Amino acid sequence: MISLDPIPQFVVHYACKIPFRTELKPSERDGLKALLQNADAEHFQIFPADAQNLSGIGMGIANQPPGLLTVFRQYPMEEGAIATAPTLIFQNDSITIPVLIKVGKKFCTASRNVQAKEWDQKMKALLFQLPDVVKGLKYSRIGKVYELVMPIAQDKKEAFLRKFLSDPSTGIAEIGLVITNIHPVEGKNLNINTQLRFQQMTLEQPLVVSLRVDINNRDLATSMDPRDVDFVWNNANAIIESHLEKFMI
């Protein structure tokens, strides 16, 4: 079993592909706010009108194109610090609900394992309440994304690099790899999309590895129902630990 103790940042994203839309109506924004706060007022905490000049844990939001709505939460950190992170990103053709599991030495939820299954039912219930507020909303692809950052110590750099490179030179400053595997299950195909990036600022510092694994239905659906979501997420949870172990040292 993979321990999260040595991993300084771990995030799980619940991600959905939706029909393209150019706007959210004011009534839909208000409805979303009410729905999210009723579902989990702690997780969906800060709304855009209140979220000015925020700093903290980006969880990839800086790399996202401008969206229709982004919701934030503040997390208490060590020594009285506060980190701010997105908890819902509604874009033109997708919805992502990030759940920050761990940052530094602090666990931000009760989850202590890479599957974070404790969140699945709550997120599924929320996703199928959203169409009551946002008209025409349906899901053609559902994924569960596991994202972590981990340091590789000086004495383990070469062994780690040998996993991926024929020339495991510890002088490499930065490399990015993208791998997509097709995983057949019960007559259906899942995508396992893995994005691996490692970099070191100086030769004396640890190698910092960023790993993002997105497991989703490969074939787009017209409209996915809760059973389809269970199929993807349950299989993602079954796959993820053994898949991550391939990238550990």
Q: What is the pLDDT of residues 185-206, one digit of tens each?
A: 999 999 999 999 989 888 888 8
Angle at alpha carbon of residue 182, lines to 181 and 183, rounded to 5°: 110
Cα separation, 212 vs 199, whole angstroms: 15
Cα separation, 179 vs 161, whole angstroms: 16
Q: With respect to residue 3, please indicate whether it lies within any of the assigned structural domains.
A: no
Report CA dihedral (149, 121, 243, 15) to the nearest 10 degrees.
-60
Burial label, 196 (beta-carbon count in 10 A; 0-12, 13-18, 19+): middle
Cα separation, 145 vs 126, whole angstroms: 17
Mean pLDDT of 150-164: 89
Let me know how long the chain is: 249
- What total number of domains does the chain contain? 1
Domain that holds residue 143: 9-245
pLDDT above 60 for 244 = yes
pTM: 0.91
Residue environment code for 197-212, b if the CB has 16+ CB neighbours within 10 A, otherwise e? ebebeeeeeebbbbbb
Cα separation, 125 vs 36, whole angstroms: 11
The pLDDT, as a whole number, for residue 110 is 86
Q: With respect to residue 117, please indicate whether it lies within any of the assigned structural domains.
A: yes
Q: With respect to residue 2, please indicate whether it lies within any of the assigned structural domains.
A: no
Q: With respect to residue 4, please indicate whether it lies within any of the assigned structural domains.
A: no
pLDDT above 70 for 66 = no
Q: With respect to residue 229, please indicate whether it lies within any of the assigned structural domains.
A: yes
Q: What is the pLDDT of residues 75-119, one digit of tens each?
A: 888 777 888 889 999 999 999 999 999 998 889 888 899 999 999
Q: With respect to residue 183, please indicate whether it lies within any of the assigned structural domains.
A: yes
Task: Count Cα atoms within 13 angstroms, Cβ side, for 238.
Answer: 10
Q: With respect to residue 114, please indicate whether it lies within any of the assigned structural domains.
A: yes
Share of residues in the chain with pLDDT > 90 (%): 67
The pLDDT, as a whole number, for residue 61 is 45
Q: With respect to residue 92, please indicate whether it lies within any of the assigned structural domains.
A: yes
